[in-house]
Structure 1
Amino acid sequence: MRTAVMECRVLSIQSHVVRGYVGNKSATFPLQVLGFEVDSINSVQFSNHTGYAHWKGQVLTAEELNVLYDGIKLNNVNHYDYILTGYSRDTSFLETVVDIIKELKKANPSLVYVCDPVLGDHGAMYVPEKLLPIYKNKVVPLAEILTPNQFEAELLTGKNISTEDDAIKVMDLLHEMGPETVVLTSTDLPSKRGDQFLVALGSQIIRKPDGTSTCQKISLDIPKVDAVFVGTGDLFAAMLLAWTHHHPNDLKTACEKTISVMHHVIKRTITYANGVAGPGNKPSPAQLELRMIQSKADIENPAVVIEAKVLQTSMDKKC
């Protein structure tokens, strides 16, 4: 059923945990379920995510990353259709990732780089500030698909988002930096459906052979869940990669399927966590680990439960 996808290979450079789902553990299984071959490089290897009371592990250095990539290259198996990156907190490591992406794009000019620019959230950075100029000047310009949250989009553009028009302008600024698909995975904008919904927005430019372009901008209202989940951003980026592959010129459908996968996984997770924790008890980080394996059918064929609204569609030589 997915023979065309089976030839697609993804290089995913993200964190890894022994227990639970974050980084590569959150991205690899869903991509494999959808038929993608996934080669994983673990930027860190931790016992569990850092939201637990205790965690142990190791961090991959830039030199060690180069050693792993050299092994792939020496065997002449360094051909990829997609690159997916997430959390990184070291400048030399991020610079090495940039060098690898450039080399792989030379080998395959049609390679698509999906970048989740993990910088922070809710007004606070949780990576060193010196990473920001590397993202702005070197990483984002290489990306075809970018998935920042509102705070990250504001950091990258230097513009605040207070209204939907602000968000549209920020997405346009991000387009000017390089990516042709931008999705603001979450914002603080008010939903017309009430306080129980988060607003996500997306924008896609489709280049045509005659030099013209089509732009589409969409918004989605996402039901809020009163719990803290880890690894959802990594799952989102992986699913957006997969569904834009299936619907390359239809951001609306790709986002609807991506968000619907998220909805099903989170709903199953919170139902399980509340059941295990018991009435009146707050679920623990271990109980709130994403129910990924149990959601296999929803990942493969998500029932669309969240529909996107088209904000605007334009055809112009410059979008």
Structure 2
Amino acid sequence: MSGTAHKADVRSGGQPGSVAVISSHVARGAVGNRAAVFAIETLGHPVIAVPTVLLPWHPGHGPATRIVHDNRQFAGFMADLAHGPFAGEIDAVLSGYLGDADQAAAIAASVAALRSVRPDLVYACDPVIGDESGLYVSGQVARAIAGTLVPVADLATPNRFELAWLSGRVLEDNEAIIDAARALGPPAVLVTSAFAAQPGMTGNLLVLRETAHLAEHAAFDRAPNGTGDLTAALFLAHLVNGRGHLEALRRATASVHDVLANTRARGADELTLAADAALLSEPVSDIDVRSVGRRSEDITIGG
């Protein structure tokens, strides 16, 4: 993906192209596909939703039954989508949490097949493997994401811990994050939980080939799960809708902040996406995006 925003393909009858979202599905909550599908549909795109694992709730709420598809069936399912009658309508693919390491190869093969139909297809990999507490997937799954999916992505959206694990580097400041992100491979890397300039803030750091841009918002202690899923989905949807990288970063960051603030005010234990759907399209927070890093340009946009 170059620095030029991807332009959404509008089908006959005014129907925009679809986005395929491949991640976990929880019966209750707003993580994985439950967050990403809602966000992308709210921003105007039909979604082809593919669950990689079925769970009653996010594991952070406690142990629960876990249903993972048979790997052969999952591969066949993905091949059907990539080679079937609706392949040409897919503008973008977003993958997230995997239920099994073998799912990575099936996803990569499907992305390759879709690109043969749509060379401008955008593939975004959200490498959901862990956080500051450590890996919460097996090492085999983490290595499959790192070795099979990240290298073929146009966009990767790791948090700071995930980038450190993927790159094998210690990330003590944003300069280290920028260097690690550029070495990762994808032409665009959006790193959540980057270092902010002010206390009590957190940052989303977008690293491109020649520039890097930081958007900051207030940090929330013990925030509900799903903010990474939501950020990746919103950022990708804005790109597919034709917005530039900086505007997509500003809007995605502002929307996540606004939803978090309302979720906290309601005392909810999951992101209150249904109640805050309007904020996904039109956030209310003023978020500045500024250039950072050794190659930075003097660019700042505000809300």
Q: Paired residue for 1:236?
A: 231
- Give CA-to-partner distance per residue, 1:168-208, whole Å, 9 cap, x none: 2112212xx2x111111113x3x3321x1123311124xxx
Instruction: Choose the corresponding residue for 1:181, options 183, 188, 191.
Output: 188
Please give the residue correspondences for 1:36-55 in structure 2 after superposition, counting only pairs within 5 Å. 36-55=45-64
1:266 to 2:260 alignment: yes
TM-score by length of 2: 0.86
Please list every run of at least 4 consecutive aligned residues from structure 1 whose deviation after the TM superposition is greater than 6 angstroms.
none
Instruction: Choose the corresponding residue for 2:281, options 288, 294, 300.
Output: 300
Is 2:24–2:53's contact at 8 Å kept on the other side of the alignment? yes
Is 1:89–1:128's contact at 8 Å kept on the other side of the alignment? no
In structure 1, C-alpha distance between the alignment counterparts of 2:227 and 2:173, rounded to whole Å? 25
In the superposition, relative to structure 1, how do residues 54 and 119 fare at CA in structure 2: closer, same or farther (>3 Å)?
Answer: closer
Letter in 2 for 1:270: R
Q: Paired residue for 1:254?
A: 248
Deviation at 1:230, TM superposition (A): 1.2
In structure 2, C-alpha distance between the alignment counterparts of 1:130 and 1:3, rounded to whole Å? 37
In the superposition, relative to structure 1, how do residues 167 and 75 fare at CA in structure 2: closer, same or farther (>3 Å)?
Answer: closer
Letter in 1 for 2:108: V
3-state SS in 1 of match to 2:202: strand
In the superposition, relative to structure 1, how do residues 90 and 197 fare at CA in structure 2: closer, same or farther (>3 Å)?
Answer: same
Q: Which structure is higher in RCO with an 8 Å CA cutoff and minimum separation 6?
A: 2
Is 2:24–2:99's contact at 8 Å kept on the other side of the alignment? no
In structure 1, C-alpha distance between the alignment counterparts of 2:119 and 2:83, rounded to whole Å? 20
Instruction: Choose the corresponding residue for 2:116, options 106, 118, 123.
Output: 106
In structure 1, C-alpha distance between the alignment counterparts of 2:133 and 2:29, rounded to whole Å? 27
Letter in 1 for 2:228: G
Deviation at 1:247, TM superposition (A): 4.7
Gaps in structure 2 of 5+ consecutive residues = 1-7, 298-303
Q: Paired residue for 1:12?
A: 21
Deviation at 1:127, TM superposition (A): 1.4
How many residues are paired up? 284
- Give CA-to-partner distance per residue, 1:25-68, whole Å, 9 cap, x none: 11111111111110001111111111223523411232221232
Q: Paired residue for 1:35?
A: 44
Q: Paired residue for 1:204?
A: 208
**Aligned-residue identity in percent:** 26
Letter in 1 for 2:19: V
1:227 to 2:231 alignment: no
Deviation at 1:81, TM superposition (A): 0.9
Q: Paired residue for 1:61?
A: 70
In structure 2, C-alpha distance between the alignment counterparts of 1:244 and 1:304, rounded to whole Å? 20
Deviation at 1:162, TM superposition (A): 0.9
In structure 2, C-alpha distance between the alignment counterparts of 1:270 and 1:304, rounded to whole Å? 16
1:149 to 2:138 alignment: no
In the superposition, relative to structure 1, how do residues 35 and 63 fare at CA in structure 2: closer, same or farther (>3 Å)?
Answer: same
In the superposition, relative to structure 1, how do residues 304 and 247 fare at CA in structure 2: closer, same or farther (>3 Å)?
Answer: farther
3-state SS in 2 of match to 1:151: helix
Instruction: Choose the corresponding residue for 1:21, options 30, 36, 41.
Output: 30
Letter in 2 for 1:164: N
Please give the residue correspondences for 1:72-83 in structure 2 after superposition, counting only pairs within 5 Å. 72=81, 75-79=84-88, 80-83=90-93
In structure 1, C-alpha distance between the alignment counterparts of 2:114 and 2:9, rounded to whole Å? 24
3-state SS in 2 of match to 1:81: strand
In structure 1, C-alpha distance between the alignment counterparts of 2:55 and 2:273, rounded to whole Å? 19
Deviation at 1:262, TM superposition (A): 0.2
Is 2:255–2:280's contact at 8 Å kept on the other side of the alignment? yes
Deviation at 1:20, TM superposition (A): 1.4
Q: Paired residue for 1:309?
A: 290
In structure 1, C-alpha distance between the alignment counterparts of 2:296 and 2:242, rounded to whole Å? 17
In the superposition, relative to structure 1, how do residues 70 and 138 fare at CA in structure 2: closer, same or farther (>3 Å)?
Answer: closer
Letter in 2 for 1:243: H
- Give CA-to-partner distance per residue, 1:113-151, whole Å, 9 cap, x none: 011011211151111112344333321121111101111
Instruction: Choose the corresponding residue for 1:168, options 161, 165, 178.
Output: 178
